[in-house]
Amino acid sequence: MPRYVINGSQIEFPHEAYSCQLDYMEKAIVAVADGKNALLESPTGTGKTLSLLCSIIGWLQAEKKRKEEQRRAGGSYNPDMPRVFYCSRTHAQLKQVIKEFRRTAYGKVGGDNEVTMTVMGSRDQLCVHPKMEGVTGAASTALCTSLRSQQKCRWYQSLDSFVERGGVQSINNPDDDPLGAKHGRTYLQDIEDLAKAGTTHGFCPFYYTRRAIERVSVVFAPYNYVIDPNIRKQLSLDLSNAIIIIDEAHNIANNTTDASSFSLNTVQIAEAVSEIDRAKMQAMKDDSLDTKEVTAKLGDYETLRTLIMKLITLAEETAVRTKGAPDVERGGGVLKLLETNLALTRDTYKAFAKIVDDAMASISKDAIEQGSRADAPGLEKLTQFLQGAFTHSKDVLDESFFLVIHREQRNEKKFAKHSVAPPIQIGLWCMEAGIAINSMMRTHAPPEEQVQKAVDGRVFAEGPPVPRKPRSLLITSGTLRPIDFFSAELNLGFDIKLQCPHIIAPTQILTMAITKAVNGVTLNSSSANRTNPNYLKGLGLTLVKLAHAVPDGMLVFFQSFTFMRDVLTAWKQPQSFDAGHTIYDVLTRQKTLLEEPSNTSQSHAKLKEYCELIDRGHPAFLFGVFRAKMAEGTDFPDRYARGVALVGIPYANWGDLKVQLKMRHLDEKRASKGGAKKAGSVSGGNWYTLDALRAINQAVGRVIRHGRDFGAVFFLDERYDSKGLQVQLPTWVGANMKSVRDFHSAATASIVEGEIATFFHSNGRQYTPLPTRRKTEHPQLVAANNGFSDLSDGQGLPAFGAKEGAGPRHDTASSFASARRYQETRRAQDAQVLLAPPDGKRQRLSDDPPESAARVFLSTEFAKPRDDASGKSLAAGVGAVPVKPQFTLQEYKTAVQRVLTPEQYSLWKGLLREFAAQIDDAGAFMRNRFVPWLVDAFPAAHHDLLRSHVVTLPPSIRADFLAVLKTVVRQKKSRPTS
């Protein structure tokens, strides 16, 4: 495994790193070493996940060693070590990060470089108590507290004894200790597996992980756990001195504004009133209360009920006054609204909140005793709204929030069978992403705390205070551009910024902006044109042409689910293609057509169905929607997405009130004194375009998922034929985009189809498609095994030296092809050559023989001569005579690739990997399988090439190999022929 020294920290990396990965790791290390924040953009397939994990953990271990040296020297130092919070959007994405982590030296349980780790989950995901089923949010916290305080949760009561027995690792390996006092090691489990283990073995998974967080070095969590202040509070999450990494952060601005926004509608307020009535009933039958206490509780609950009812009256009166139009004012107005109507101020709110908490506790108690419903969603929403209102000062509310009272848009499905009008909402909408980010990055404990930790009997009281805020924030994604605007949106200083180039060659991507359809109609999916029959027909006919030219899987993305369904409905109309056929019929004859479901819970099944079709060699379409699950975060390597078609530009809904207010806010901010001169300042209109570009970039990213992938992207809208828009796309997409302005011309169409066919033919010869899986799974779930995900190493190099299951298996005939321009130069250098600028901050260590780092996949256990079955030395007659290869490793691979068929070449590399794992019985493997296969596979005319196979082996076993080779060749010659 290659090692690099970057800025004084030794980094173990699972393969030879690209230059862009070295740049990426250097920036990450500089950021955490200096306690700075960083924005790091690196395209899909460049291995940013591995780079982040290895660089930050490598720095952590180096920092620990430095502090230990300071301690031994008797100097003053701060013993606190940072903890890493590695965050992505979902647990599904974290599962892939963890698989990548296991590929590294730091993720191997029991390895020399192992670090402690855990995965965070919510009570909703991890609690196994039957009474908690269906209970969420604050209600689940209240019910959990009641169950534990009344000793009615046997899973929590059993936790201590479970930890003492060895915890989760005791289930898998009784000799290991995941969380106890011995080592503090945690066995890395998926949250679903952890919840299942809790049920089976009788412990509380939620509090198990809570305890683990206190002991581990790396915590994996969805990023709303660290961003959302309410979730941080519920989990008692301490981010002091933490290194926070937010991966897949392209939508972080929207997520943070949502986390800081609060709303309450009249239906939820009515639910809160009903829940207070439940609390009153519980208080009246509570035998533990005396008459005075019951009277006091009932009085408090009635006061609470009266105040809440005033909110309903206020909302309804506002709707009448504005005649249904939204009532909008700056956010500071919420303080006046609450004081005027509810007599609530910052001072009186604490007493109000205490009554609400008491009411929720009463509901939880009733649920335990009577088996009734335990949640209180109305009171929970009320609490969140009021907390949001009183968290910020009036100035902050006026600068960054809008108070909006409006009738919610009608949901036709929800209200179709009812005459009732949609509810009225009171919203406190945040417009600044920096509100949540700065809350996360603020001090988390009293700053006056000094270093008062005893080490070896000595107390270090001098020096700086203990860091009580996060050390560094590292935000990364394949799409952060424009990076200055991204930084300004988050309103946080980022001293370090990096935008990496893509690792693929320009020949691996084909991009075309098609402005006119096959029938000559202009392609433009603006709202005024979407229902135009000629446009819909032209769009369908164009896809028919493209589908004929694009092999295997093809993704087509639309602006919304409604638009996608309207298009499909139009294509199914009789005679939409010609007198006897519909466009839908013609399309589905070329490729099976599947639609992304709007219900995300059904996405996995649809994705599996699509993958199974491709695995069977059956071409297929997958129609999806920008910003939905298929367009963002889902892996479509190789044949799963040879083509991507983008229908229109995914602008946000212009009629959406939040969109209008966001644009108004940015325009007002820009118009303020000096606002236009601030770095990253944009107008509302520019933001509107940039928001669409992020969605486009994410959808385009589905086509290239690793360094050997290739595919075509078709932009089916005339507005893409604009240099102003193209320059805002990633360079690898927009730089070589071709404009097709007359696709309706038979001559042009023929040329375009020929160019597409040539592109796929040329790349198909160089990059062998992904082999069919034995069992189809979600690409995200198998990515770590096939090495083709965004989280892979990004280069597809064989994992020489890895044991079975320890890393990716690349079974294609051209594993080295796309990485050649990076790797050939590096392989020609001596391993001690510096890979960094003259300052020497980056260095490739020479632990491995200088012949090639890839050649150290066999153990030095082979140093001793091995005996064959007869007891004779295999090296007899050769002995210690050194065997010098006639080829370099790269030259030999090239020669072998010319001699063997692609299938044989793929199998040859697989046998090399299998040979690497035969540490204990390599001699038998060499005699019985490896060498006989080589003799059979290599044509007789090329048997002289077999002797040079020693270039792939360490010097210590080359003589053994030649002796076995001689024996096998002799046996084959003496074999009778039929």
Which residue did the predictor score with more confidence, 148 or 676?
A: 148
Q: What is the pLDDT of residue 382?
A: 92
Sheet of 38-41: strands edge to edge? 117-119, 218-222, 84-88, 243-246, 472-477, 38-41, 496-499
Instruction: Provide the β-strand partners of residue 246.
Output: 87, 475
Q: Of 424-438, 549-563, 613-627, 948-962, which range is least confident?
A: 948-962
Q: Locate 141 and state its tokens.
A: 């916290």
pLDDT band at residue 37 using 50, 70 and 90 as cut-offs:
very high
Residues 878 and 964: beta-carbon distance below 8 Å:
no
What is the average pLDDT score of the chain?
79
**Which residue type sits at 631?**
A
Instruction: Tell me the pLDDT tens digit for each residue of 274-313.
Output: 999 988 988 888 888 888 988 999 999 999 999 999 999 9
Which string of b and e fits 418-452 if b means at least 16 CB within 10 Å?
eeeebbbbbbbbbbbbbbbbebbbeebeeeeeebe
Residues of the chain above pLDDT 90, percent: 39
The mean per-residue pLDDT over the stretch 540-560 comes to 95
Say yes or no to pLDDT of 631 above 90: yes
Largest CA distance in the chain: 106
Q: Of 424-438, 578-592, 646-660, which range is least confident?
A: 578-592
Q: What is the pLDDT of residue 194?
A: 81
Rg (alpha carbons) of the chain, rounded to whole number: 32
Can you tell me the distance from the alpha carbon of 819 to that of 794, in angstroms, rounded to the nearest whole number? Answer: 9
Q: What is the pLDDT of residue 463?
A: 43
Residues of the chain above pLDDT 70, percent: 78
Helix (H, G, I), strand (E, B) or coil at 786: helix
The mean per-residue pLDDT over the stretch 660-669 comes to 94
Instruction: Provide the β-strand partners of residue 867.
Output: 873
Say yes or no to pLDDT of 39 above 70: yes
Q: What is the pLDDT of residue 455?
A: 36
Q: What is the pTM of this model?
A: 0.74
Query: Could you tell me which of 482, 384, 474 has the C-alpha nearest to residue 690?
Result: 482
The mean per-residue pLDDT over the stretch 487-496 comes to 90
pLDDT band at residue 372 using 50, 70 and 90 as cut-offs:
low
Q: Show Cβ contacts of residue 145 under 8 Å, excluding neighbours closer than 6 positions.
A: 361, 364
Q: What is the pLDDT of residue 765?
A: 77
What's the DSSP call for residue 479? -
What backbone phi and psi angles, to 5 degrees, belong to 833? -70, 140
Instruction: Provide the β-strand partners of residue 38.
Output: 474, 496
Helix (H, G, I), strand (E, B) or coil at 318: helix
Instruction: Tell me the pLDDT tens digit for each residue of 709-719.
Output: 999 999 999 99
Count of helix runs (H) and strand runs (E) in the chain: 39, 23
Q: Where are the beta strands (DSSP E) in 408-543?
A: 424-430, 454-455, 458-459, 472-477, 496-499, 509-514
Q: What is the pLDDT of residue 914?
A: 72
Q: What is the pLDDT of residue 56?
A: 95
The per-residue DSSP string of 119-186 comes to E---HHHH---GGGTT--HHHHHHHHHHHHHTT--HHHHTHHHHHHTTHHHHHH-TT--SSSTTT---
Q: What is the pLDDT of residue 894?
A: 79
Residue 854 CA, chain-centre distance (Å), reads 29
Q: What is the pLDDT of residue 880?
A: 32
Nearest-5° angle of CA 375, CA 379, CA 382?
140
The mean per-residue pLDDT over the stretch 665-685 comes to 79
The per-residue DSSP string of 674-688 comes to TGGGSTT---HHHHH
Can you tell me the distance from the alpha carbon of 542 to that of 715, in angstroms, rounded to the nearest whole number? Answer: 11
Can you tell me the distance from the alpha carbon of 504 to that of 141, in angstroms, rounded to the nearest whole number? Answer: 49
Q: What is the pLDDT of residue 848?
A: 36
pLDDT band at residue 834 using 50, 70 and 90 as cut-offs:
very low
Residues 103 and 1: beta-carbon distance below 8 Å:
no
Say yes or no to pLDDT of 419 above 60: no
Q: What is the pLDDT of residue 843?
A: 61
Instruction: Tell me the pLDDT tens digit for each residue of 66-99.
Output: 988 888 887 777 788 899 999 998 887 888 888 8
Say yes or no to pLDDT of 18 above 90: no
pLDDT band at residue 142 using 50, 70 and 90 as cut-offs:
confident
For the chain, what's the residue count?
Answer: 978
pLDDT band at residue 204 using 50, 70 and 90 as cut-offs:
very high
Give me the half-sphere count of Cα atoms (radius 13 Å) on the Cβ side of residue 434.
Answer: 14
Q: What is the pLDDT of residue 886?
A: 61
pLDDT band at residue 442 using 50, 70 and 90 as cut-offs:
confident
Helix (H, G, I), strand (E, B) or coil at 66: helix
Instruction: Tell me the pLDDT tens digit for each residue of 335-365.
Output: 999 999 888 999 999 899 999 988 888 888 7
Say yes or no to pLDDT of 833 above 50: no
Instruction: Tell me the pLDDT tens digit for each residue of 871-898.
Output: 333 333 333 334 445 667 777 887 888 7
Burial of residue 574, with CB atoms counted within 10 A of its CB: 0-12 exposed, 13-18 middle, 19 or more buried: exposed
The mean per-residue pLDDT over the stretch 162-181 comes to 57
Q: What is the pLDDT of residue 805?
A: 31
Give me the half-sphere count of Cα atoms (radius 13 Å) on the Cβ side of residue 489.
Answer: 28
Measured from the Cβ of residue 290, the count of other Cβ atoms closer than 10 Å reads 9
pLDDT band at residue 169 using 50, 70 and 90 as cut-offs:
low
Query: Could you tell me which of 443, 652, 635, 465 has the C-alpha nearest to residue 553?
Result: 635
